[in-house]
Amino acid sequence: MEKDSRWILREMVTQRPAVTGTDDAATLARPDADDEGFLRHWIDVVADSDTELARVLAARAVDARRRMDREDLVVWIDTAMHTFDRRGLGAAIAVLEGWERFASERFERRNGLPLDEVSGVLERFVAGLGGRRLELRSAAYPYTDTAAIYVPALLARLPEREENFRLYKAMVAHHWAQTVHGSWRPAVLATLRRFPDRQRALAVFAALERERLDARVARELPGLAREMQWLRAQCDGAAPQPASWAPFAAVLRRHGASAEDSLRLIAAAADTSLPAPACYHGRFLPDPVWDVLTARIDRERQRLAVVLGKLAEEQDRAQPGRSLRAGRAGGGRFQLGTRGGQAGRADLRFELRADGRRLEPPDELRGLLVSMIQDHGHLPPEYLAVSAPAVYDAGANERTGTAPDYHALFDDTGRYTYPEWDHVRGRFRTDYCSLRESDVEPGDPQFVTRTLARHAGLVRSIRRTFEAMVGEVRVVRRQAEGEDVDVDALVEAHVDAWRGVEPGDRVYTRLVRAERNVAVMFMVDMSGSTRGWVNDAEREALVLLCEALETLGDRYAIYGFSGRTHKRCEVYRVKRFDEPYAAAVQARVSGIRPKGYTRMGAAIRHLGHLLDGVPARTKLLVTLSDGKPEDYRSYRGRYGVEDTRHALLEQRRRGIHPYCITIDREGGDYLPHMYGPASYAVIDRVDRLPLRIADIYRRLTS
Amino acid sequence: MTVTSVRTQEVLLDSEPYYEPVGAEVEVFAAAWGNRLPLLLKGPTGCGKTRFIEYMSWRLRRPLVTVSCHDDLTAADLVGRFLVKGGETVWVDGPLTRAVRAGCICYLDEIVEARKDTTVVIHPLCDDRRLLPIEKLGEVLSAPPAFCLVVSFNPGYQSVLKDLKQSTRQRFVALEFDYPQAALEARIIANEAEIDADVARRLVQFGHTTRNLKGQGLDEGASTRLLVNAAKLMRSGIAPAVACRSAVGEALSDDRDVLAAIAELAAAVF
């Protein structure tokens, strides 16, 4: 396409002061032909969205090209366009104008190592080390609050990525050691508070703990300790330890040294000069730890009461007459024994006994106990007492305990964001579509009964056909092995042998059960164009389909979709996978009504995501529609078709088979492109839809 | 002319298999066998169930028939079937029938994998009747006192389809197996792979780190068997990190992040 880019580019080159001089300068400033084509392409792409933005880009593209390679340049332009999509022109221009900072950040990012790239490995690494589950978050400097380990979002301290990864690992391991080896027990925090000069005491304590934990890591994880040594040599130089430090180090390097030893040494070490921390050591911040710790101790104690209460109740039910709850006759307590190691050790095992009977501790209990022992160093015995009321109060506490999460959830209930494929840009617009999930308003409950009565004959035949498909056990003949002898094949083999021909060895029969393992998601078009006949036909078709699927026992869900611009994509629940086909669902089927436009991409991505979570061997995503994707403004025509096609491709990659049933007679033009050949059915008359749909489904899944 | 499908040999071990008792399982097994009770072994993969059976087979001087169950294993595979031999149909006993006739220990490994129709033959064999009906021959075998049915089952697979029905499990004396305690596991590894006790101890430590990853990318941690494999590689001169990666990491997962984390854990421990 021949667009404004040519004159924009010409203008930007001629406008540049340096270029107005000699011809030489002009050729210098002018990008080579290949680059020019590249830049012009992107200016065109941007001009598609906004001319002004393209003008701003054109004015900076040549300079930016000198500092960035093409890949970075594309990321830069892409960032600007995303910003434009989400926050408008002003913000997008700011991105383009900040190209110099962008270029240097990209440079750093390329040579440094961002946390995002390695957090998956590091999180598992720290989980493997044992103890309470620790999250990994980014912060300006490393520290831990005992619920998460904070590390910088980007490390560029060492020249190689691999070396920066080692630094990350050492940071994470050191802070893991703090949480597991008792640097942050409530008693320690309380003692630290009592020092008159808290700041100094904390600094000394931190130095002592670093010494102790380094020694401990060296004993337990020698391979990691070697890497830590190497990092110290690289980053921290060979700063010698102050001579006065040696006696303290000697105490703390002993086997069995604890945080209490560090606390005891604070007074003695108060005036010595402290060794410098290593590059992987972070800060010791008692305040965030205190907040997290106190909240967690309360929460876990309540949780434990709930879990033990439930356990006691189960026991009571299993063995009536012997109540474990205090306050009843024969009331008792739980006893907990641990085997094999102390806090943070992977082989810590629990033996739970209730009045001398051994119980299998549930997984949840195990996690709680690990965390509690990590906080206290042991399990306070009073925690194991089960009092009758606590069991019931704790239910409420449990809810308040998770309140913060609830809150976060509440703000965003039923809202999801999905990317959209922009075929012009050749890439995704990330988090572009905002999608909301809600229930269909229930409609006339009589609709289903009426439909079933109207199509009584059809319903009977559907039931018959589909019943025959359930649990078919077929005898397969002529098998190399099987349960029984296939007499026909045996006779033939005999005859062959008798004639001197080599007889076949497939002389057995085998029973094969065709087990159905199908989950199907129906995606019903609720766009405005379905008003009238189409909507009625859709609803009737769904009623008949539900009959068929109930007979068959396949798992299925029904969702409607519509949309009006990318900010308001809607998905309407008619039936979830785990919902039974009952009155509520029937009312919702009859309540399906035309709404906005057909923005299909986001709906496909969302429903595909739901379907992906269902365990089934065969997964189908069946769209019931009356036409091609269409939405207000840009989603019309090729753009919408391409996004839909891309969304369907994504589902295929997940192992979901998309299929489309449409009543658009022109569907044959674009459906093969969107769904692929043999993945769609065009129904030429609306009133035929209910008759055909069960048949199509049968063909599809047998 | 035909391929015989299940052809499991009964084995009488002539040397003592290496086995370290964890609890009272040897005594319980012997007592159950003496009382003609069937046994159910529960436990994760690679924790020593099969080795235990071999050991008991040697100790009780009974031949062992092992059947690894798979999802296509039918009752006919266990009991027997007619085969075509030289123009005639010939009855061939299945492994279970052979074990009953000879008074062996019959070990059905991972019983939940087998088809549901196998319960038809297992149930009458497991209660006090101790009968094996052979429908196609119209015959009913009564198991001799020396016969013992042992099944194993891994409760770790939390799938509804892979659960043992109450009516089945309540016929068995159950023994639970788990990975041994650290010290014992180290001794087992050192003995099995003939490696240094210190290396074995480190391997166990590494094994525990992978078990911590259960539910966070792994379905199961490293079994004792995998650790023994790693130890054997190390004894042959493979570097610890490589041995752990090949024998343990790659065996547990295909996920790149998980593999990288396991490699880092191995590097940290050694």
Each residue's pLDDT tens digit, A463-514 = 777 776 666 667 788 888 887 888 888 888 888 888 888 888 888 888 776 6
Q: Which tokens hold the place of A509? A: 């029969």
CA proximity to B151, closest of B117, B129, B122, B179: B122
User: Quick one: residue B101, left, alpha or beta (phi over 0 = left, psi -120 to 50 = alpha)?
Assistant: alpha
The answer to whether residues A378 and A385 touch, using CB atoms and an 8 Å cutoff, is no
Each residue's pLDDT tens digit, B206-255 = 999 998 888 777 878 899 999 999 999 999 999 998 999 999 999 988 88
Cα–Cα distance, A158 to A170 (Å, whole number): 13
Contact residues, B window 40-99, toward A, CB-based 8 Å cutoff: 74, 76, 81-82, 84, 87, 89
Domain range summary for chain A, segments of one domain joined by +? 2-108, 115-284, 288-400, 417-467+516-701, 473-513
Structure-token match 């002898």, residue found: A485
Best of A117, A124, A349 to substitute, by most chain B Cβ atoms within 10 angstroms, is A124
Burial of A308 (0-12, 13-18, 19+ CB in 10 A): buried
Strand B64-68 relative to strand A415-422: parallel, antiparallel, unpaired?
Answer: unpaired
**Largest alpha-carbon pair distance within chain B?**
65
The model's confidence at residue A7, banded by pLDDT at 50, 70 and 90, is low
The model's confidence at residue A222, banded by pLDDT at 50, 70 and 90, is very high
DSSP H/E element including B152: strand B148-153
**CB contact (8 A) between residue A346 and residue B212:** yes
Cα–Cα distance, B235 to B224 (Å, whole number): 16
Contact residues, B window 155-214, toward A, CB-based 8 Å cutoff: 181-182, 204-205, 208-213
Using the predicted structure, report yes or no on whether residue A28 has a pLDDT greater than 90.
no
Using the predicted structure, report yes or no on whether residue B160 has a pLDDT greater than 50.
no
Using the predicted structure, report yes or no on whether residue A404 has a pLDDT greater than 60.
no
How many angstroms away from the CA of A611 is the closest CA of chain B? 19
In the three-class reduction of DSSP (H, G, I as helix; E, B as strand; rest coil), residue A661 is classed as strand
- Measured CA distances, A66 to A54, A73, A101 (Å): 19, 10, 14
Strand A349-354 relative to strand A334-339: parallel, antiparallel, unpaired?
Answer: antiparallel
Best of B3, B73, B84, B120 to substitute, by most chain A Cβ atoms within 10 angstroms, is B84
DSSP H/E element including A170: helix A161-180
The model's confidence at residue A11, banded by pLDDT at 50, 70 and 90, is low
Name the CATH superfamily, with its identifier, for domain A417-467+516-701.
Answer: von Willebrand factor, type A domain (3.40.50.410)
Question: Residue A324 contacts by C-beta under 8 Å, 6 or more apart in sequence?
Answer: A312, A315, A316, A331, A332, A333, A334, A354, A355, A386
pLDDT of residue A214: 93
Nearest to B82 among A127, A485, A505 (CB): A485
- A186 Cα distance to chain centroid: 34
Each residue's pLDDT tens digit, A660-691 = 888 777 777 778 788 877 678 887 777 777 77
Strand partners, B176: B42
CB contact, 8 Å: A614 with chain B? no
Each residue's pLDDT tens digit, A226-240 = 999 999 988 877 667
The answer to whether residues A555 and A520 touch, using CB atoms and an 8 Å cutoff, is yes
- The overall average pLDDT reported for chain A is 80
Nearest to B87 among A129, A346, A494 (CB): A494
CB contact, 8 Å: A134 with chain B? no
**Which of A48 and B265 is assigned the larger pLDDT?**
B265
**Interface size, chain A vs chain B, as Cβ–Cβ contacts under 8 Å:** 99
Cα–Cα distance, A628 to A669 (Å, whole number): 10
Strand spans (E) along A440-585:
473-479, 484-485, 508-513, 518-525, 555-563, 569-575
First-to-last alpha carbon distance for chain A, in angstroms, is: 48
Proportion of chain B above pLDDT 90, given as a percent: 50
- Torsion, Cα of A119, A122, A128, A131 (10° steps): -80
Report, as an integer, the average pLDDT of A427-447.
Answer: 84
ipTM (interface pTM): 0.80
Strand spans (E) along A279-390:
334-339, 349-354, 357-359
Cα–Cα distance, A39 to A62 (Å, whole number): 8
